[in-house]
Amino acid sequence: MRAGTHAELAAKMGFGTAPAVIMLGRTLHRFRHGEHKERFGKGTHFWAALDARAAEVQAELDKEEAKRFVRPSRYKCAAPGCPVEASKGSMLRACAGKCEDAYKPRYCTKECQVPDWKTHKRMCKPGLEAPQSEAPPPSRSPIDPSFTAGRFEMSPDLSLPTQPKNPTFKTARNGEYSVEIGGISVHTSPSQLSSQEIKELAQKVKVLSGEK
């Protein structure tokens, strides 16, 4: 196949992580093993480059997973009832008060932060530890590194170690928002939907489905 030949040459020349090469890898991976192995399993440099990239992104997400385990509240909006989570803590706005950083609540929007101030105000002092209720662990959604990492094996569903829509892996690096909608985790990058927009989407679906 001509595309495979070009991809192998590109990888051999050091361009194995070019978007076009990675995209082709998604398409051909289902044929890499099994009965089509002889035809599509070739391309030593091509597959080696993709495997190396997968391992690199795996390491990045393992690092993120460790951070989430230590400080789960950093990745979930602290406002009661808000479903928004973030793959990176920096995507949520932290309380600017003097509360300890380890227990500092974070919010997806100002609209969530302002009403919650009445609750957080008494805890917004140095030296105080927040109660467990202020630090709920993030749900294990597809943006959770422990889930995303499962795709790094590049299973037959064409998955490479990132969201399918972005072959350059920028989505995983720039972060994503996530909400639970109808039992399904929906995640999006800030460039597609803001935290406020994805929260409103979740609320509308909840109303339409009759959930309380």
**149-157: average pLDDT:** 34
pLDDT digits over 158-201, tens only? 333 333 333 333 344 567 888 877 777 777 878 788 888 888 88
The string of DSSP letters for 177-202 reads: EEEEETTEEEEE-TTT--HHHHHHHH
- pLDDT computed for residue 139 by the predictor: 45
Spatial CA neighbour of 103 closest among 117, 115, 120, 82: 120
Q: Which residue has the higher pLDDT, 141 or 59?
A: 59
- End-to-end Cα spacing for the chain: 54
CA geometry: angle at 79 spanning 91 and 64, to 5°? 35
**118-140: average pLDDT:** 67
Q: What tokens were used for 71?
A: 């400080």
Spatial CA neighbour of 38 closest among 3, 1, 86, 88: 1
185: β partners: 180
Q: Which residue has the higher pLDDT, 70 or 72?
A: 72
Q: What tokens were used for 147?
A: 């889930």
Check if the beta carbon of residue 194 is closer than 8 Å to that of residue 91.
no
CA geometry: angle at 54 spanning 168 and 83, to 5°? 70
pLDDT reading at 149 higher than 90: no
pLDDT digits over 30-53, tens only? 666 766 666 665 767 787 888 888
How far lies 204's CA from each of 86, 116, 208, 209, in Å? 20, 22, 6, 9
Residue 47 falls in which region: left (phi positive, over 0), alpha (psi -120 to 50) or beta: alpha
- pLDDT computed for residue 212 by the predictor: 58
Angle between helices 44-70 and 19-28 (to 10 degrees): 90
